[in-house]
Amino acid sequence: MKVFHGYCVSYSGILLLGIIQGLCVLADENAETVRRASGSSLLLPLGLQKESVSYAQWKFKEHQIARYSKNQIHINLNHQFMGRLKVDNVNVTLEVEALQVQDSGTFSIVVDGSTQIATKFISLIVYARIENVTIQSNQTWLDSIKACDVHLWCQTYEDPTASYTWSGYQNRSGAFLHFTFSPEDGNIILNCTAANNFSNQTASKPLKCSPEPPTTEAKLLIWTAAGAGAALLLLIAVIALSCWWRSHGDATLRDCGNTVYADVNVPQNSKPSQSNINGASIYETVDDLRVTSDKYKPQTLYDKVMFSRPTADCPSPSPYQHVL
């Protein structure tokens, strides 16, 4: 230790300060921060020739996700990057694909080789790239004030933390917008911009206020009710027609008299007839029983038909009956 102008200088102190500065520089060289958009990839190379590496491991937040040994990269199980790791055994690199916002964190690469190699740290920041913005609207006509009441909702699915601003007919902030406007305002346009620290995207919504016609749901309800009413009327008409037809048909048949199958079992005299001997036919005339007295009834089916034939305006109940 020497004294210079009243100051004590220690050689050991100077040496320690130099070592600390060197370590800080080395730490800066082995640590970096990278930013990637969601959906992109991150390459994690060893940065060394494979001949000089005997063992290496890749970690994410102190949890091993892959290791290199015996000239092969082996992927560990049970981590958030399953199915998204791509290995290159030739260049000894590990690539994380399809990055997500929750993949933000610190990766470390630990290498054992012929020489001592410092651990490399990579701090990853994954930001959501906003590419799609949608505006949902609900507009109703307020007859009391002759104006339209509007509710708008702006959203993006890429980043739930995105901020929203409205411009155009209304200038406000926030995802939701509520206002009224009248038909005199004509056609208006609302613009919504969704943004985060890395990207932004804008969507537009044109609106027009007019006395509210039936909505699609209302039209569907009207058509459904009309169809149901028509079906009900048709059913009632069919039932009424069926009842009328049955009652009218029964009355007609009752008015038309007996059929050809009326009773023909009438008394016969004891005299045997030639007809009975030879076998009777329904069209056979029994001459020996034909008398003029009202005491005797018709002896054949044909006579029965002739005596009790229906009127000409009555429909024939049998296909074998012919009305003269």
Give tens-digit pLDDT for 100-115: 989 999 999 998 876 6
Q: Which CA distances in Å does 78 have to 55, 64, 101, 178?
A: 21, 10, 19, 47
| pLDDT number for residue 222 | 74
**Interatomic CA distance for residues 258 and 305, integer angstroms:** 9
Mode of pairing for the β-strands spanning 120-127 and 31-37: parallel
Is 124's pLDDT higher than 90? yes
Report the 10 Å Cβ neighbour count for 273. Answer: 16
Structure confidence by residue, pLDDT tens digits, 262-289: 444 544 444 444 444 444 444 444 444 4
Q: What is the pTM (predicted TM-score) of this model?
A: 0.46
Which ranges in the chain belong to alpha helices (H)? 11-29, 216-255, 274-278, 301-307
- Which range scores top for mean pLDDT: 84-98, 233-247, 253-267? 84-98
User: How much is the mean pLDDT over the chain?
Assistant: 76
Nearest to 148 by CA among 190, 184, 189, 192: 184
Given this model, what pLDDT does residue 252 score?
A: 56
- Select the more confidently predicted residue: 283 or 212: 212
Rounded-to-10 torsion of CA 204, 209, 215, 219: -130
Nearest in space to 323 (alpha carbons), one of 256, 262, 249, 253? 256
pLDDT in tens, 160-187: 889 999 999 999 999 999 999 999 999 9
**Nearest of 306, 312, 270, 308 to residue 288 by alpha carbon:** 270
State which CATH number among 3.10.310.10, 2.60.40.10, 1.20.1430.10, 3.90.1150.10 fits the domain covering 134-208: 2.60.40.10
Return the closest-CA partner of residue 101 out of 116, 82, 80: 80
Q: Where exactly does CATH 2.60.40.10 map onto the chain?
A: 30-127, 134-208
* Per-residue pLDDT, 201: 95
What is the mean pLDDT of the segment spanning 239-257?
Answer: 69
30-127: which CATH number, 2.60.40.10, 3.40.50.10210, 3.30.450.20, 3.30.390.10?
A: 2.60.40.10
Give the Cα separation of 36 and 129 in Å (integer). Answer: 9
Query: Please, what's the b/e burial string for 280-311 (b: 16 or more CB within 10 A of its CB; e: otherwise)?
Result: eeeebebeebeeeeeeeebbbbbbbbeeebbe
Question: How sure is the predictor about 150, in pLDDT bands with cuts at 50, 70 and 90?
Answer: very high
DSSP codes, 263-296: -------SS--HHHHH---TT---GGG--SSTTS
Selected residue with higher pLDDT from 117 and 153: 153
In the prediction, which pLDDT does 143 show? 93
Do 123 and 60 meet the contact criterion of CB atoms below 8 Å apart? no
Tens-digit pLDDT profile for residues 289-324: 444 445 445 555 444 444 455 555 555 555 555 544
